């Protein structure tokens, strides 16, 4: 199998395959047609299976973070903040933007509740999202607590939230993500770990949906407060105040597609609230459990290596027994694709190391066709120039 002639031809065919795969891969951002192919492939990221299966049926909760459903009016939100603050939480993150002044009574109550509370972290919208477009700040940012705020925009990998930016530079200012700001105040050590990673984008290593955290609805907050059940729950914990529902029907406000989305559904509905995504990011930062992503170059190198071995084997089969049947080739190709996907998924499971799949997949899919074309060209060259090839027979 490993004779020099076979290796030489496998290298040539592999190089052509990977070049064409690279061409298709980089075309996607320029041409609508290719973009749609890529979109479909990315929309169904194989690594999502990992998140769907990893925490299936897990009843374990992250008790460092508690979710509290936010009230509808500013006066009631102020009351919620006052209640929460009574139990000395470490941080209270408010996942809502109070953009404009509304009624004087509500605004004034809200301002009273947040003044001199250094453990509050507010949210604003940076406006990097195409749908939003503009920066949205709280109406009190300049007067009360500017430094304890972070942006709540997500990176939408088409429509599934898989990554997030811990920091973003805009107009010469370094902006902190809402979660980065909370981490900075809650655990400077863990924040530094995040900061020194210097990644513009981080993969969100999801650990679960709403059931992963203790969620308290707005009515429950009042009841638990009256029954004095919140002391142990809130004391020295991170409280995220934002909109979510514990049980269906889910209101589509601030609801996103996550990798945990159930693939059994033919039409997928958004499944995770923004506040739960923030909680997942915080769990990841505090556990230091970051996922790593391989560069595109690494992905192409892996593709090259795999395709080389595969094509070498195919050339060897030809040189030994002539052309194998087409069905046999397809079966081998399918098995190789499944094995490679399984292998890469296991690598992610064990090392949290994610390889961009598209270069590998495109290469694996087109390699047999490219080998066929190579065979024709090699035979033609053999006839014309005496080019040495296993396909001369």
Partner 1 sequence: MKRILTILLLIVCSQAYSQSPDYYVFLVKGEVSVSKAGAKPIPLQQNVFIYKDQLITVKKDAELTLADKNQNFLVLRSPAVYKVKDLDNKKNDPIQGVTQTFLKLAWNQLIHPDHDFKQFTNDNSSVVYGGVSRGDDCDNLIFPIKNLKTSEDSIRFKWHQSSPSNDYTFIIYDSTAKEVVNIAVKDTQHTVKINEALHGNTGKYYWVVKGKEPGCEEDPISFEIKNKEGEQKLIPALVIQKGSNDVLSQLQIVDALEKDKWIHTAMKYYATIVQGNPGNDPLVKSYVLFLLKYGFDEEAYNSWKKIKLN
Contact status: 44 vs partner 1 (CB under 8 A): no
Contact status: 59 vs partner 1 (CB under 8 A): yes
Stretch that binds partner 1, among 23-31, 70-78, 226-234, 342-350 (CB under 8 A): 226-234
How many other C-beta atoms lie within 10 A of the C-beta of residue 184?
Answer: 21
Contact status: 365 vs partner 1 (CB under 8 A): no
Whichever of 134 and 267 has its CB closer to partner 1, that residue is 267
Contact status: 265 vs partner 1 (CB under 8 A): yes
How many other C-beta atoms lie within 10 A of the C-beta of residue 149?
Answer: 23
Looking at the DSSP bridge assignments, the partners of residue 379 are none
Contact status: 60 vs partner 1 (CB under 8 A): yes
d(CA 390, CA 393): 7
Q: Please pick, from the candidates 130, 227, 384, 393, the single residue that binds partner 1 as defined by CB under 8 A.
A: 227
Whichever of 137 and 212 has its CB closer to partner 1, that residue is 212
d(CA 156, CA 248): 24
Whichever of 4 and 59 has its CB closer to partner 1, that residue is 59
CA distances (Å), origin 206, targets 3, 136, 262, 276, 289: 47, 27, 14, 10, 10
Is the Cα torsion angle 279, 294, 154, 272 positive or negative in sign? negative
Contact status: 195 vs partner 1 (CB under 8 A): no
d(CA 48, CA 56): 13
Stretch that binds partner 1, among 85-93, 114-122, 241-249, 365-373 (CB under 8 A): 241-249
Q: Which of residues 117-156 bind partner 1 (CB under 8 A)?
A: none
**Parallel, antiparallel, or unpaired for β 155-157 and 149-151?**
unpaired
d(CA 237, CA 80): 16
Stretch that binds partner 1, among 68-76, 167-175, 261-269, 286-294 (CB under 8 A): 261-269
Q: What tokens does 59 get?
A: 């009843």
d(CA 253, CA 251): 6
Stretch that binds partner 1, among 56-64, 71-79, 318-326, 336-344 (CB under 8 A): 56-64
Closest separation in Å from C-beta 248 to partner 1: 4
Whichever of 143 and 235 has its CB closer to partner 1, that residue is 235
Contact status: 63 vs partner 1 (CB under 8 A): yes
Count of residues that interact with partner 1, criterion CB under 8 A: 27
Whichever of 200 and 263 has its CB closer to partner 1, that residue is 263
Which string of x and - marks every residue 266-305 that binds partner 1 (by CB under 8 A)?
xxxx------------------------------------
Burial class (CB within 10 angstroms; exposed 0-12, middle 13-18, buried 19+) of 116: exposed
**Parallel, antiparallel, or unpaired for β 238-242 and 214-216?**
unpaired
DSSP three-state, residue 25: helix
Contact status: 250 vs partner 1 (CB under 8 A): yes
Contact status: 251 vs partner 1 (CB under 8 A): yes
Contact status: 229 vs partner 1 (CB under 8 A): yes
d(CA 51, CA 48): 5
Closest separation in Å from C-beta 223 to partner 1: 6
Contact status: 233 vs partner 1 (CB under 8 A): yes
Closest separation in Å from C-beta 50 to partner 1: 22
- Measured in degrees and rounded to the nearest 5, phi and psi for residue 340 equal -65, -45
User: Which among 53, 91, 18, 30 is positioned nearest to 238, based on CA atoms?
Assistant: 91
Whichever of 252 and 322 has its CB closer to partner 1, that residue is 252
Burial class (CB within 10 angstroms; exposed 0-12, middle 13-18, buried 19+) of 379: middle
d(CA 99, CA 288): 33
Which string of x and - marks every residue 198-217 that binds partner 1 (by CB under 8 A)?
-------------x--x---
Contact status: 190 vs partner 1 (CB under 8 A): no
375: CB partners within 8 A, 6+ apart: 391
Whichever of 172 and 249 has its CB closer to partner 1, that residue is 249
The contact set with partner 1 (CB under 8 A) reads 57-61, 63, 211, 214, 220, 223-224, 227, 229, 232-233, 247-252, 264-269
């Amino acid at each position: 199998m490993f004779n020099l002639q076979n290796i030489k031809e496998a290298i040539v065919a592999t190089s052509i395959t990977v070049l064409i795969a690279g061409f298709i891969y980089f075309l996607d951002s320029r041409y609508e047609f290719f973009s749609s192919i890529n979109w479909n492939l990315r929309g169904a990221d194989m690594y999502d299976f990992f998140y769907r299966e990893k925490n299936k049926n897990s009843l374990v909760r992250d008790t460092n973070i508690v979710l509290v459903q936010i009230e509808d009016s500013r006066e009631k939100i102020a009351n919620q903040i006052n209640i929460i603050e009574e139990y000395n939480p470490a941080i209270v993150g408010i996942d809502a933007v109070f953009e404009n002044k509304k009624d004087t009574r509500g605004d004034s109550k809200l301002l009273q509740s947040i003044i001199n509370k250094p453990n509050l972290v507010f949210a604003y919208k940076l406006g990097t999202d195409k749908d939003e477009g503009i920066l949205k700040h709280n109406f009190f940012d300049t007067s009360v607590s500017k430094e304890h705020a972070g942006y709540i925009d997500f990176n939408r990998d088409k429509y599934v939230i898989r990554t997030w930016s811990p920091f973003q530079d805009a107009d010469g200012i370094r902006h902190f993500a809402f979660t980065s700001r909370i981490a900075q105040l809650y655990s400077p050590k863990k924040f530094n770990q995040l900061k020194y990673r210097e990644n513009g984008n981080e993969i969100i290593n999801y650990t679960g949906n709403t059931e992963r955290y203790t969620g308290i609805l707005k009515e429950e907050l009042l009841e638990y407060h009256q029954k004095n059940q919140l002391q142990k729950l809130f004391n020295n914990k991170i409280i995220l105040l934002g909109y979510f529902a514990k049980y269906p029907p889910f209101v589509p406000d601030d609801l996103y597609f996550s990798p945990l989305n159930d693939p059994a559904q033919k039409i997928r509905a958004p499944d995770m609230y923004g506040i739960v995504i923030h909680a997942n990011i915080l769990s990841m930062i505090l556990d230091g459990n970051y996922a790593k992503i391989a560069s595109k170059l690494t992905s192409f190198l892996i593709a090259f290596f795999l395709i080389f071995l595969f094509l070498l084997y195919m050339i060897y089969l030809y040189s030994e027994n002539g052309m194998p049947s087409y069905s046999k080739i397809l079966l081998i190709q399918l098995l190789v694709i499944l094995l490679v996907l399984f292998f890469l998924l296991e690598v992610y499971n064990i090392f949290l190391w994610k390889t961009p799949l598209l270069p590998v997949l495109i290469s694996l899919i087109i390699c047999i066709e490219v080998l066929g074309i190579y065979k024709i060209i090699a035979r033609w060259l053999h006839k014309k120039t005496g080019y040495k090839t296993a396909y001369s027979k």
